[in-house]
């Protein structure tokens, strides 16, 4: 029997793609909630005016949640709706309290990253979830990106030797393409801008590839004209084992899409790749360029693997995102999921250190 989902946060721009994801799972959205407002599920329309560049693939949103019970209070939903999983896409300042209610009612959670504004907002809830055996997971789906998984495997095998440095770039469309009246771009609600919203994907996946947490950071930010959160950020970081890294993320592009790069440099090899691919990309594949000094590679020390991403199951972002959610729903009852609540706390601790560094200058240690 499939899972019953209570979906919280109907006005979020990721709602449409996540409804589409849910429709392909062994799961049913049986309850919906937009806190403080009664949703007319029979007349839910696709979001054409979004605070980012995601498009809807012509799906009828109302059909995907037909017959779902409607709640105005998310706390009432998680206590009364007889659901297995609360799927949350809601504002970061109020999401932790909703998750706390879900945990106390034994309801598992998958929530839009970064889940909370700060680590302190989530730490006690994470401890309680772990104590009760309730799975709370952030949407860190780059952990199922095939290129990232291939790199993680090679790092774990020692292919690159000792990793000296990691270099990442994840830039997206300018704020002029986005609805900056949305709470995503409000400091009081979200704490930050580019680093807090698009930035977390790679702040998470870079140390995940290395299996080596970020220990300290030095950050600088670009203020936005359109809103009170930052338009971009540059981070220097050092991992627990001493790998040095840089990361550049922001709302910089003059058209829709992403500009991405990941470079990994070790004592015995290096790798270069865009890593990211979505339906807006002009290139059909994602290359992974690898150079190695291994004796078995002497005849061809430079090699390229082309990853052809598929969009059959999830046209918006790619099938690897569908894989992420399939893995979550296959493992939430046992806690065997791609990313845990402890991973979410660690991410927020890195972001905390970055914003503190931006305010006072210099390197800041990551707590924990």
Token output for 62: 């109302």
Comparing CA positions, the residue from 291, 318, 311 lying closest to residue 303 is 291
Sorted by where each starts, the structural domains of the chain and their CATH numbers stand as 3-140+329-333 (3.40.50.720), 142-323+345-365 (3.30.360.10)
**Alpha-helical segments (H) within 170-312:** 187-190, 194-197, 200-210
pLDDT of residue 106: 98
Give the SS3 label for residue 101: helix
Q: How far apart are CA 15 and CA 19, in angstroms?
A: 6
φ and ψ of 19, to 5 deg: -60, -40
Dig out the tokens for 351 from the structure.
Answer: 């972001």
Query: What token pair was written down for 234?
Result: 């540059």
Q: Helix H segments across the chain?
A: 15-23, 61-64, 74-80, 95-104, 123-132, 146-156, 187-190, 194-197, 200-210, 319-331, 341-360
Burial 259-290 (b: 16+ CB within 10 A, else e): bbebbbbbeebbbbbbbbbbeebeeeebebeb
**Regions of the chain short of the pLDDT cut 50:** 51, 53
List the end-to-end C-alpha distance of the chain, in Å, as a whole number.
39
| Cα–Cα distance for residue pair 31/28, rounded to 1 Å | 9
Pairwise CA distance, residues 224 & 193, whole Å: 9
**CB 152 within 8 Å of CB 238:** no
Taking the C-alpha atoms of residue 81 and residue 179, their distance in angstroms, rounded to an integer, is 32
Torsion of CA 92, 93, 95, 96, to 10 degrees: 110
Q: What distance in Å separates the CA atoms of residue 258 and residue 56, rounded to the nearest whole number? A: 18
* DSSP label of 34: B
CA 349 – CA 310 distance, rounded (Å): 34
Give the helix/strand (H/E) hosting 169: strand 163-173
pTM score of the predicted model: 0.95
Pair of tokens at residue 255:
């058209």
Burial of 26 from C-beta contacts in 10 A (0-12 / 13-18 / 19+)? exposed
**Sign of the CA dihedral running 26, 144, 117, 127:** positive
Instruction: Please say whether the beta carbons of 122 and 96 come within 8 A.
Output: yes
Q: How far apart (Å, rounded) are the C-alpha atoms in residues 92 and 115?
A: 6
Take residue 335 and report the two structure tokens written for it.
């806690």
What confidence tens digit (pLDDT) does each residue in 322-364 have? 999 999 999 999 999 999 999 999 999 999 999 999 999 999 9
Q: What is the pLDDT of residue 54?
A: 54
DSSP-derived secondary structure for 170-198:
EEEE-GGGS-TTSGGG-HHHHS-SHHHHT
* 59: Cα separation from own chain's centroid: 23
């Amino acid at each position: 029997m499939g899972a019953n989902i209570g979906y919280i946060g109907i006005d979020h721009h990721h709602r449409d793609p996540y409804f589409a994801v849910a429709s392909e799972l062994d799961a049913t959205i049986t309850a919906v909630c937009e806190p403080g407002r009664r949703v007319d599920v029979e007349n839910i329309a696709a979001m054409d005016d979004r605070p980012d560049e995601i498009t809807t693939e012509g799906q009828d949103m109302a059909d995907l949640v037909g017959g779902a019970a409607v709640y105005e209070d998310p706390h009432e939903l998680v206590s009364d709706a007889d659901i297995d999983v609360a799927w949350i896409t809601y504002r970061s300042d109020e999401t932790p309290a909703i998750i706390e209610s879900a945990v106390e009612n034994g309801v598992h959670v998958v929530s839009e990253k970064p889940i909370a504004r700060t680590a302190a907002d989530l730490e006690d809830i994470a401890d309680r979830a772990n104590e009760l055996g309730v799975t709370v997971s952030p949407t860190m789906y780059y952990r199922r990106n095939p290129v990232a998984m291939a790199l993680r495997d090679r790092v774990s095998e020692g292919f690159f030797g000792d990793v000296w440095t990691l270099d990442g770039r994840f830039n997206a469309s300018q704020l002029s393409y986005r609805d900056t009246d949305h709470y995503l771009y409000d400091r009081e609600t979200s704490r930050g801008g580019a680093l807090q919203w698009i930035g977390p994907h790679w702040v998470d996946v870079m140390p995940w590839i290395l299996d080596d947490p970020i220990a300290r950071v030095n950050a600088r930010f670009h203020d936005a004209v359109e809103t009170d959160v930052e338009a971009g950020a540059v981070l220097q970081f050092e991992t627990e084992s001493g790998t040095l890294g840089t990361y550049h993320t922001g709302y910089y592009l003059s058209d829709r899409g992403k500009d991405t790069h990941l470079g990994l440099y070790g004592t015995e090899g290096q790798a270069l790749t865009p890593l990211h691919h979505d339906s807006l990309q002009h290139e059909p594949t994602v290359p992974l360029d690898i150079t190695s000094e291994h004796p078995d590679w002497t005849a061809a020390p430079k090699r390229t693997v082309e990853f052809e991403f598929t969009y059959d199951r999830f046209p918006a972002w790619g099938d690897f995102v569908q894989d992420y959610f399939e893995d979550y729903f296959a493992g939430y009852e046992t806690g065997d999921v791609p990313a845990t609540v402890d991973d979410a706390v660690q991410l927020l601790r890195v972001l905390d250190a970055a914003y503190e560094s931006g305010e006072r200058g210099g390197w800041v240690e990551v707590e924990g």
